[in-house]
Amino acid sequence: MNRAQVKVAGIVLAAGASSRMGTTKQLLTVGGETLIERIVRRALGSELDRVIVVLGHEAQRIEKNIAPLLIHPGVSVVENRDHRQGISSSIVAGIQAVEVTHDYAMIFLADMPGISSGMINLLCDRCLNSGLPIGAIREKDRPAHPVIFGRVLFSELKRLKGDVGARSLLKKYSHRVCLVEPLGDYNSLDIDTPEDYAGFEGMNVEH
């Protein structure tokens, strides 16, 4: 596959209300930057063709936080006004923003500070070279975030409902998933609670 002819977008899901955290976790700081800044910077530092940031809860406050990054021509914000309907509504909003222009979409959770630009590139390259419609990081022989989907599945992604994300598609097409071994710097922790945040703060994070 000629990578130069294939367009891959990144979709950062950052619309949730952070109910388990008790505060807007997208704006928690790790290594001198907020979680949302961290994932957007790493996405922009990768070989992705475009980055879509899906906002909802406290959208204006979060957008203000990443305003300096929005100057970059490769990033834009989509507001999901249906974010209370669950994470699937943000996936739908993101896919609608790229379905006409891009061949693949890589989905990120904004609360995963362990994702690096190198990991994004590795997952993208391995999935595209495999010819399979789905790629994911391997964790204990199961798919973990980030996850990449080919255009052939965009219509099914747009039909997702509720707060379970794309898990149903990963299960339905388990035989068509390219599982990629993570790099040494990969950390799969997602920050949902104050305890998660305290634990990650204690790690030696990349600045």
Q: What is the pLDDT of residues 53-92, one digit of tens each?
A: 999 999 999 999 999 999 999 999 999 999 999 999 999 9
What average pLDDT does the segment 14-34 reach? 82
- Within a domain: residue 207? no
pTM: 0.92
- Within a domain: residue 9? yes
- Within a domain: residue 133? yes
Residues 6+ apart with CB under 8 A from 202: none
- Within a domain: residue 76? yes
What is the DSSP secondary-structure string of 30-57? ETTEEHHHHHHHHHHTTT-SEEEEEEBT
Average pLDDT of the chain?
89
Residue 207 has pLDDT above 90, yes or no: no
- Within a domain: residue 17? yes
Q: Is 198 helix (H, G, I), strand (E, B) or coil?
A: helix
Per the structure, the complete domain to which residue 175 belongs is given by 3-201
CATH number (domain holding residue 171)? 3.90.550.10
What average pLDDT does the segment 95-122 reach? 94
What average pLDDT does the segment 182-204 reach? 72
What tens digit of pLDDT does each residue of 124-161 get? 999 999 999 999 999 888 888 899 999 999 999 999 99
What tens digit of pLDDT does each residue of 35-61 get? 999 999 999 999 999 999 999 999 999
Residue 5's pLDDT is what? 85
Of 124, 163, 136, the closest CA to residue 10 belongs to 124
- Within a domain: residue 206? no
**Overall domain count for the chain:** 1
